[in-house]
Amino acid sequence: MNRALPEMLNCMNAPGTFLAGNCTDMTVLERQRARMKWHLHEHNDPIQLHQQQQGYNFSGNELSGVFSVPIPAGQAQGFMGLVCGDSAVKPDPCSENRWAELGYGSCGLVVNNNGAAGFEEMINGRNNNSNISRTFSCPPTVAAEKKSNDAVLSQKISLPTGKESFKKRKADKVQSNKAVAAEDDSTEKRMKGCAEEGDSKITEQTSTKNNTNNDRESSGDTSKDNSKASEVQKPDYIHVRARRGQATDSHSLAERVRREKISERMKYLQDLVPGCNKITGKAGMLDEIINYVQSLQRQVEFLSMKLAAVNPRLDFNIDDLFAKEMFPACAANFPTIGMSSEMTNSAYVQFNPVQQMVSSCGLDMGINSSDLALRRTISAPVSIPETFLDTSCFTQAPPTAIWDADLQNLFNVEFQQGRTTPFQSQPFTGSIEASNLKMEM
């Protein structure tokens, strides 16, 4: 296992091996998680951001549920972080194919596998299954095939943890009787006992089955069904459906799920609120969050005051205001284009709306009454952004001094607004060049 670690550190692209390393050696976990986060940030920033916005808890929760029972809280959190990061990668279509294959197909299996292995190691203190260790030490390219080969095995191993996770997942949803809950706990204990005894996983599995059968027939049947379902690798919803009868509520389990959810969301909020990283403890963090929300609301109030004070001054040029309406939205659009892959093209495409907007602004503020025709001519290049017909049109337009000032204005504010400075810098220079060109014309 330790032999394989440097390899895993080298090949950051493979999530499977990465997780394996984390599971086996918990001391390396923090470092690797940090690296993984960094890696994710570097490679697919927009997608991850998007994920964090929308589905950060939905995709994270399901997988994090897998780990929650067998591994104690701290480690489980680490895993949660990892799995959250992983899930952010999964739906990403633009990265390498290997990622797609590994990420969705085999990663879930490997995760389960690791969870089971960690569980066993934690309880036994010895390494039973040579198969798993082999899969761990595999390099990522081979790992895909290996994992597909070992799919059934890993599924078998992952069975107990999977069962428990499903119990847990259901736990907060279903409010049910306590008798079944007690049964749940007893099966949990039994499984631990089996892990201590059992040398091979299959015997362990069968023994758990037998135990449940002996004890309570109804629940035993359901567990049998579950094991069969997971062996055949049926899709996920069938799993859920099969366990629905079995899923129970134990107060401690539900409480743990709730706490995990809360801590996860707290983490997200911590990223969101500036200056909240240093504070430890939920009370302090909540205080900080409250302060931040209050300050935001106060800021809204202040800005509305400012707008109210400013508004009557510009009573008569509606066009100006419309130009302004274009402005923030257009500025908002800037980063999105900046992130697209072709930098040169995007710079040009980007330049066009700005030019058009500025031109309309200048026209509105200007003296000319014949701007309709001009505007129509200007509108032509916007519909065909590649061709640069507009430069010819612009020679007839009002004096360049106003334009320049407006451009400066726009870019200043837009620059302040922009979040992604590395992306922002390039379009900025590009448009400046373009404005120079225009000035020359």
223-252 binders of other proteins (CB under 8 A): none
Nearer to other proteins, 234 or 306 (CB): 306
At its nearest, how many Å lie between other proteins and the CB of residue 299?
5
Q: Around 26, how many Cα atoms within 13 Å sit in the side-chain half-sphere?
A: 15
At its nearest, how many Å lie between other proteins and the CB of residue 194?
32
- Residue length, the chain? 441
Single-letter amino acid, residue 399:
P
Residues 270 to 289 in contact with other proteins, rule: CB under 8 A: 272-273, 282-283, 286-287, 289
CA distance 211 to 193: 11
Nearer to other proteins, 328 or 399 (CB): 328
Examine residue 328 and tell whether it contacts other proteins (CB under 8 A): yes
At its nearest, how many Å lie between other proteins and the CB of residue 308?
4
Q: What is the dihedral of CA 75, 78, 80, 86, to 10 degrees?
A: -130
At its nearest, how many Å lie between other proteins and the CB of residue 337?
4
Residues 7 to 36 in contact with other proteins, rule: CB under 8 A: none
Examine residue 348 and tell whether it contacts other proteins (CB under 8 A): no
CA distances from 180 to 130, 169, 353 (A): 36, 15, 65
Query: For other proteins, which stretch binds (CB under 8 A), given 98-106, 191-199, 246-254, 266-274?
Result: 266-274
Class of residue 130 by CB neighbours under 10 A (exposed 0-12, middle 13-18, buried 19+): exposed
- Judged by phi (left if over 0) then psi (alpha if -120 to 50, else beta), residue 234 lies in beta
* Contact characters 381-420, other proteins, x per CB under 8 A: -xx-x-----------------------x---x---x---
Query: For other proteins, which stretch binds (CB under 8 A), given 20-28, 107-115, 233-241, 316-324?
Result: 316-324
Q: What is the dihedral of CA 219, 222, 228, 231, to 10 degrees?
A: -80
At its nearest, how many Å lie between other proteins and the CB of residue 96?
18
Examine residue 367 and tell whether it contacts other proteins (CB under 8 A): no
Q: Are 63 and 87 in contact (CB under 8 A)?
A: yes
Q: Are 356 and 382 in contact (CB under 8 A)?
A: yes
Residues 42 to 71 in contact with other proteins, rule: CB under 8 A: 46, 49-50, 53-54, 57
Tally Cβ neighbours within 10 Å of residue 184: 24
At its nearest, how many Å lie between other proteins and the CB of residue 369?
14
CA distances from 293 to 57, 262, 284, 305 (A): 21, 19, 14, 18
Query: For other proteins, which stretch binds (CB under 8 A), given 118-126, 134-142, 311-319, 431-439?
Result: 311-319
At its nearest, how many Å lie between other proteins and the CB of residue 78?
19
By CB under 8 A, name the one of 127, 336, 396, 429 that touches other proteins: 336
